Amino acid sequence: MRLKDRVCIITGGGRGLGRNMALAFAREGAQIVVSGTTESAINSTAAEIRASGSRAIAIVCDVSDEDAVGGMVAATIREFGKIDVLVNNAGIIGPTAAVTEVKREEWDHTIAVNLTGAFLCAKAVLPHMAERRSGKIINISSVAGHKGYPLRSPYSVSKWGMIGLSQTLAAEWGRYNIQVNTISPGPVRSDRMDEVIRRRAEQSNRLIEEVAREYLGKLALDRFVEPDHIAAAAVFLASSESDSITGEVIQVSSGYGLT
């Protein structure tokens, strides 16, 4: 029970990696705030956690809306009395297109959700964590935040920015015993990755199978990343085992780019 009684906000917690992390945190004894924009999805995750015997609430929140983020944080403190961990996981795929074909509104929306949302959530929880002189923030980036990613410019830029945000927050808030770290997943076995591959195949007039092989060809382990492996890394960073780690990036990527 490495997270016993810790109160954890997980944005984008209704589906995919967010859901996996929420369930993994709950198994380690955490009390979970499942945040997201799809009410049915976050309610389902929260219900599954409660059925397992842990405490959880679901809060509808668009992380790009500062007032909504403030309301989520206030509701968490009312319900649980504290916030120990924030996982900035909420994110969208964004457009699959060359830069000249990306619409301004697509660019703005991707940055707003993927990067500005993390900034707003951190901004809202940091004063509370600093007052208690304890806290952990885990930002979910991507291997797309380490090198250029053709046809995915807004997504790539948002994930590069997430790493810079993490390191800046780590430097600013370390004196308050707040650790801020980043997880950069590689291609994850998921419905979202299937959609990424489908869009890239469509954009480049190739077969889905060909694009999937191209992604696999970049992975030293020759397999997509398992969602539970991302969750395990997040549990570690949320636990006391990582108390001397801050400003770091952990790639859970199946060896992306090594081959």
The catalytic residue positions are: 155
Region of residue 193 (phi > 0: left; psi between -120 and 50: alpha; otherwise: beta):
alpha
